[in-house]
Structure 1
Amino acid sequence: TALHTFWLRINFGIFYPDSIDDYCQIRPWVCHALRSNVQVLGIVHHGEILTIGNAFTSSYLKRLQLRNFDVDDWFVKKLFSGCPNLEELELICCFVNIIKFSSTKLQRSTVTTTDDRSISCLGFEDMVIDMPKLVSLDIKEVPDRNLYFVDVSSLETASVCIDESSFASSQVDCNVLSALSNITSLRSLSLTVRHKPDNSIAW
């Protein structure tokens, strides 16, 4: 039987805080949803950050929300190639370690990172966003990443948080303002610069 929507919410409460510590424990449910041609898939995990060890493959999946997962370049590359009709991606409270965010089909994207500052990316690098069909973008905060837009020409609404390190040196090419100012379809824009409390910048 085909599924339209499947939400997997994992919350064991205070008595079993570490009951899920490996993605393999929930993988059968995810695979079942994908085999059932699910169009909307949400995996909401309230425990420790989990790493997804397999690629998602579905020509039916249109919307995906992940919460509390480790998301890297390997995962997003496999996701966009394995789910060619994905239109909406929400990464909520995830450890986002992405250098290139590229899709020719994605229309809406939301990214918020984990509050755990003990988890950090390996150095300050560009996070290239190349999504020509993206109409809505909401990036709350991606530590140690300089956002660099290649093609976001279809954007209509954008809410972007920029790391202050993007403005600290001429060695960093921050094109967010210039890229967004040239988009004729943009109707709503919110820009925030994230300030590091200790005022230190790591290179």
Structure 2
Amino acid sequence: MSCTDMISELDDFLLTHILSFWPTKEAVMTRKLSRRWRHVWASVPVLNFNFADFWSDDIFSYSGNFTCVSPHSECHEKFVRFIDTVLASRQVQQVDSFRLVWQYQVKPYQISDHPVRRWILLVLQQMPRVLSIYVQPNFANVDVPDVAFTCTTLEDMKLQVDNRLAEVLNPASVSLPHLRRLSLSYFTIEAEFMDKLLLGCPNLEELELYACVLRLSQISCGNLKSLVIASCCHVKDIRVSIPSLCTLDVTVVSSQNAGFSFENMSSLVEACVSFLTDPEMDFEFSDSETTILNGLSGVTNLDVVLHGEDSKYMLEHALKNCPHFVNLKAVRFESFKGFLCGCLEAIDRLVQHSPVLEDLAFYGCQDESLYIELLRVLRFKVGDHGNCRLVESRLPHTFGSLEDVEELSFQHMRCRSKVADRVFAKTEEKPWWYDYVEGQTALFEERV
């Protein structure tokens, strides 16, 4: 009884579709299976490259408690040669999706001849739908070409390029008529670029700004449905006016005297507000903090995340003039170090101003005795409030772990470091916090 290779008998269309779910390195290896498979991989429309697939024993070195990555490892050159070979072998084959993850990119390259820039230019000639670039750490030295903002076929674009200095995005024009999702990380975004972006992307529905330097005072458009502003630095209050917005995720940082104001949020259903503090930095209240929740008074679901000992004061400040949450049915609080116990009055004020509230959930007291005390007090408060019930949750809703929240803090610190480098690069006198931020950023880089 003979065995039949039924997979190899499938049409090329089906084979390339199956291989599109594989990492490109594994898809290329199928060429060794048989003559039938020799050229199938070259027609796969999805390219997925991850530097982790090329790691070898010589890439890491260990010093005390820190793990370092060697720039002399052959992994870097093998990775670059492999991607160059794949792109050259495809010739005129269509690229539907290109994803690149290059974590631990420590080998230095000239900014004008960085391989990532070369790959972006090659791929964009094939008019892809998806472009996703993730390069770290913060001396990647990648210059994103302006043509990335004029590729008319793009529907989903993610650019996370952690350069030593936050690159200022300033393309001559933006024309992305089919773009629906955009994620930008570690860039400097000025008002002019934001205006071009929102005008040049008429179908944009999801926008994520992560660890960016924001030099703008407003974000206003009529088509966005989801907005994330996480761990960004900005010196001016930012006014957000998006009537079509359904979900919002924003981080408010205590060490910068600027915040957010929200207007015209008639469609907003879900919102997450993270209050972030650093014990080593000056604690400042932004005037907009007292009204930050006012613009969110129509939400149905609200998440509040506290990180840092002084974050409880930020929450109290935000609820000082507590609005009436007329539609709020579920509110979830997260704190990974028990700071919620100092916010009971503020939480009670929010509950009393939420007439249709049904679920009040808490997560994150590391100290078991604090958690028990918190629940005991809250049972009394919730018991006096109609149909509201207390949800005793041990599973986080917004962050998976304390490490996730700490990374958010470090990314903001790294963002501040880039601002300091750009502002004080040519001056001898540095602000008092400059050396601290530089030192903490270096420690974080060694840790990861």
- Mark yes or no: TM-score above 0.5: yes
Identify which of 123, 127, 140 aligns with 2:238.
127
Amino acid paired to 1:83: C
TM-score with structure 1 setting the length? 0.72
Q: Does 1:148 align with 2:261?
A: yes
CA RMSD in angstroms, aligned pairs only = 3.1
Give 1:50's aligned residue.
167
Cα gap change, 1:98 to 1:10, in 2 (>3 Å)? farther
Amino acid paired to 1:178: N
Q: Does 1:179 align with 2:290?
A: no
Q: Can you list the C-alpha shifts for 1:69-108, whole angstroms capped at 9, x where unaligned?
A: 0112211111001111100011111112221011110110
8 A Cα contact 1:39 1:63, kept in partner? yes
Q: Can you list the C-alpha shifts for 1:9-31, whole angstroms capped at 9, x where unaligned?
A: 565622227755463xx316615
Q: Does 1:106 align with 2:220?
A: no
Give 2:414's aligned residue.
none
Using the alignment, how far apart are the partners of 1:147 and 1:127 within structure 2?
5
8 A Cα contact 1:159 1:190, kept in partner? yes
- Helix, strand or coil at the partner of 1:80: helix
Q: Does 1:14 align with 2:102?
A: no
Give 2:273's aligned residue.
160
Gaps of 5+ in 2: 1-92, 112-139, 277-283, 312-448
8 A Cα contact 2:154 2:179, kept in partner? yes
- Pick 1 or 2: higher relative contact order, CA cutoff 8 A, min separation 6: 1
- Helix, strand or coil at the partner of 1:59: coil
Identify which of 187, 204, 217 aligns with 1:69.
187
Q: Can you list the C-alpha shifts for 1:167-198, whole angstroms capped at 9, x where unaligned?
A: 5xxxx5842222222x1x522332658859xx
Q: Can you list the C-alpha shifts for 1:97-152, whole angstroms capped at 9, x where unaligned?
A: 221011110110111235xxxxx645xx3210100111111112464322111111
TM-score with structure 2 setting the length? 0.35
8 A Cα contact 1:11 1:47, kept in partner? no
Cα gap change, 1:99 to 1:191, in 2 (>3 Å)? farther
Max Rg structure: 2
Using the alignment, how far apart are the partners of 1:161 and 1:17 within structure 2?
37
Give 1:199's aligned residue.
none
Using the alignment, how far apart are the partners of 1:162 and 1:77 within structure 2?
28
Give 1:201's aligned residue.
none
Q: Does 1:35 align with 2:151?
A: yes
8 A Cα contact 2:142 2:163, kept in partner? no
The 10-residue stretch of structure 1 (172-181 or 152-161) with the greater mean CA deviation from structure 2? 172-181
- Helix, strand or coil at the partner of 1:179: helix
Give 1:138's aligned residue.
249
Amino acid paired to 1:71: I
Bigger proportion of residues as helix? 2
- Helix, strand or coil at the partner of 1:145: coil
What percentage of aligned pairs have identical amino acids? 22
- Helix, strand or coil at the partner of 1:35: coil
- Helix, strand or coil at the partner of 2:304: strand
Gaps of 5+ in 1: 115-119, 197-203
- Helix, strand or coil at the partner of 1:37: coil
Amino acid paired to 1:156: V
Cα gap change, 1:67 to 1:177, in 2 (>3 Å)? closer
Using the alignment, how far apart are the partners of 1:36 and 1:193 within structure 2?
41
